[in-house]
A and B are shown apart, each in its own frame.
Chain A
């Protein structure tokens, strides 16, 4: 059957970074096409271009052989391309039926609901959904919301349906139900795009597999006969070398920090289910995982910013569970947050003011309650010079700094004196080569001087190069512990994607 959608040479850059580089992709009616790739491989960008959220820089989208250009998701939807998001985008305060009616201009407003009620009921029956049209969407389970999101697209008679990690929010039983639906849709002639990190699922449901790496298509072909190991190999590239043996003395002594059976129940997506962890003085403990596996919750629990709902946090021998973060700081815990502007810095304040933000009690800054302007300025100027922040004007607002220089400021501030425990969340993200070397050397130097470091990263190479030990976090649990000397990218990749087999 001829493809209904042909993507040809799709290219998209964000600030000099190529998110998609000449990507080709064919979607055929009645087929389920899985798109795979590690974090940052370009899957979401590609799908956003297809669904009309982003404009492409170059390349062509052909729909039924005709070149098209979408200016908005509504545009794409009118053309018959719909998208179901990972977190269903519904109006929680409106009923299911009202949600289905929103934006559907094919029927006059007054007739919309009765007509939709019949149409949706018919569609739902065909897919085996138990539709509750008059319930508020916010009161439905996530799986039901997803069904509504799917129905909303089907009611618009889409020919292409993109599902962005639809199973990430579902239980195994709900996933089975979704697969029944997807097969029914494919049987009815819809072209489906299925994005997932779970290789078993992909092998179960997909007809066709395309793997992206660094914005390029590295593999495309039928799903039959494609083993999980092959897929991981495509996603991760070559196996790479085992990590170099650490030149530092072996970490030893009592743990600087321990997590015991930590649970978190946050309303935000990522939660932890019974995490046990310890980190020794002088040790760099790498934490690997796909985005949203619970890294942020882990970091915030260790820094005292998120109180766990179960379990205990020990800093040294002291039980710090439930204590405010300033007690953690007082015990020598420092945190370089991944969200630099949102968490780590006050962007409207000056470089100097940001440099003293976590050192307010420092005697250099003034007597008693007084904060000396000049001392703050000197503090900032010293830090800017020591860390090579450009421009180093202490009176400049931090928001005018580049991302790399913000990171230098943040890392420099938190490691001004070697802490007992440093939690570094994505410390190398977005840095250029020089800044990367700088931060890497800083982390290694700190570990040599006895600091325990928890290094959270999405870059497996960084973890292999820097860590003494790597734990892998997946869906809120630690699923594996590896030594860099005896593991490689492929094995970590399998761990991160929840592959049970050892390697």
Chain B
């Protein structure tokens, strides 16, 4: 069979799988939501119409996708080295706090504040990831636990600041900071809420890809992620690289918090993130930890979030049912992706197949 025929056959098969997944989603929605007296397939279609079909809906999807992209990149770089940094949420809050501090308290100096907010957000996110990185590299402490606890720490710190010292004087008693000064805003595009953070995220994706796939250092990180014992054998400085990767990861997550402050919210609020740092883990896995695949995947997740919100507003669907709908779509997207990969002859996620097979042993 010619190569073209093989490709054509594969394409047909893939399309069939995707069609099957979409059909299953519609059917599942119909059954589940139908039980609640809502036209399921219609709600499903409405979700996508609201998030893709209108200029407003699409721009809102992009707005939600922006922090997901940056946080997704943060997760991906760490997971590439099998560092299970699930502290993206905390690092995001840390970045937001640093950005807010710069915006609120730094006296005016020649350059616009936003130019300082974003580096400060990176630094704070990196600092939040530094302790887990050092503990992992020096003592082998599980980064999962330490980064997870960092999430609560950062969120509660943000609560404290919003209710206490940073509480604004013009917020009618609401627990939030004052609005940042105007020079703390990222530029927006043509009458939408889409902001400069999008460009930063896209550039970040390309840079991260280049770092991992086009540099000697990135190569070492990928070897360490594929087989840590081989990286040790090859003489790489794994401990140092663990810390560096955690710093990069934290900086990207912190940047996500920073652009959310400067681009969207313009003030610090408690619990401003709807779990971007956690959703980013999903984004990273769906993108198979590949930086260039993260923006489209993040956009998909952004659409689900936006469409869900719109559905509540316009169609009056209860939020819990919207959550179910989103879950179903995501679940089947994951299943279809896994199915397609299996079809293409890849047994498992290479990043997941951890234990090296043992070669023949003697008596």
Hey, which bits of chain A sit against chain B, CB under 8 A?
A: 14, 37, 39-45, 291, 303, 305, 324-326, 328-329, 335, 337, 339-349, 353, 356-358, 360-361, 365-366, 369-371, 373, 397, 403, 429-430, 458
Contact = CB atoms under 8 A, between A and B. Distances in A.
Those 7 A-B pairs whose CB atoms lie nearest each other, nearest first: A326-B235, A348-B350, A342-B356, A346-B226, A39-B362, A44-B363, A346-B227
27 contacts: A41-B363, A44-B362, A44-B363, A291-B362, A305-B233, A325-B235, A326-B235, A339-B358, A339-B359, A341-B356, A341-B357, A342-B227, A342-B229, A342-B356, A342-B358, A343-B229, A344-B230, A344-B233, A346-B227, A347-B227, A357-B223, A358-B235, A360-B234, A361-B216, A369-B215, A370-B214, A371-B218
Given A40-B363, A342-B229, A358-B234, A353 B358 contact: no
B24 interface: no
A337 B359 contact: no
B214 A373 contact: yes
A213 B222 CA distance: 44
B362 A360 contact: no
A66 to B, nearest CB: 29
Nearest to A15: B360
Given A346-B226, A365-B216, A366-B216, A326 B237 contact: yes
Contacts of B232: 305, 325
Given A329-B235, A371-B215, A39 B360 contact: no
Given A342-B227, A346-B230, A347-B227, A430 B360 contact: yes
B234 A357 contact: yes
A335 B230 CA distance: 12
Contacts of A346: 223, 226-227, 230-231
B235 A349 contact: no
Contact of B219 (A335, A343, A353, A403): A353
Contact of A458 (B218, B219, B362): B362
Contact of B233 (A41, A45, A337, A365): A337
Choose among B216, B237, B363 the residue with the greatest number of A CB atoms under 10 Å from its CB.
B363
A177 B359 CA distance: 36
B359 A403 contact: yes
Contacts of B218: 371
Contacts of A458: 362
B310 to A, nearest CB: 41
Given A42-B363, A342-B358, A347-B227, 19 more contacts: A39-B363, A40-B362, A44-B362, A305-B232, A325-B232, A325-B233, A326-B235, A343-B229, A345-B230, A346-B230, A348-B351, A360-B220, A366-B216, A369-B216, A371-B218, A373-B214, A397-B350, A429-B359, A429-B360
Nearest to B227: A346
Contact of B230 (A44, A343, A429): A343
Contacts of B152: none
A360 B219 contact: yes
Contacts of B358: 339, 342
A418 to B, nearest CB: 19
B226 A349 contact: yes
Interface string B344-363: 00000011010011111011
Interface string B217-261: 111101100110111111111000000000000000000000000
A371 B230 contact: no
Nearest to A365: B216
Choose among B229, B235, B358 the residue with the greatest number of A CB atoms under 10 Å from its CB.
B235
A283 B357 CA distance: 33
A378 B234 CA distance: 20
A347 B233 CA distance: 14
A40 B231 CA distance: 31
Contacts of B237: 324, 326
B353 A348 contact: yes
Contacts of A348: 226-227, 350-351, 353
B227 A360 contact: no
Contacts of A342: 227, 229-230, 356, 358
Contacts of B217: 369
Contact of B363 (A291, A335, A344, A403): A291
A356 B218 CA distance: 13
B66 to A, nearest CB: 29
Given A37-B363, A42-B363, A347 B356 contact: yes
B234 to A, nearest CB: 5
A345 B227 contact: yes
Contacts of B216: 360-361, 365-366, 369-371
Contacts of B360: 14, 429-430
Nearest to B348: A348
A348 to B, nearest CB: 4
Given A342-B227, A369-B216, A324 B363 contact: no
Contacts of B363: 37, 39-45, 291
Nearest to A212: B363
B8 to A, nearest CB: 23
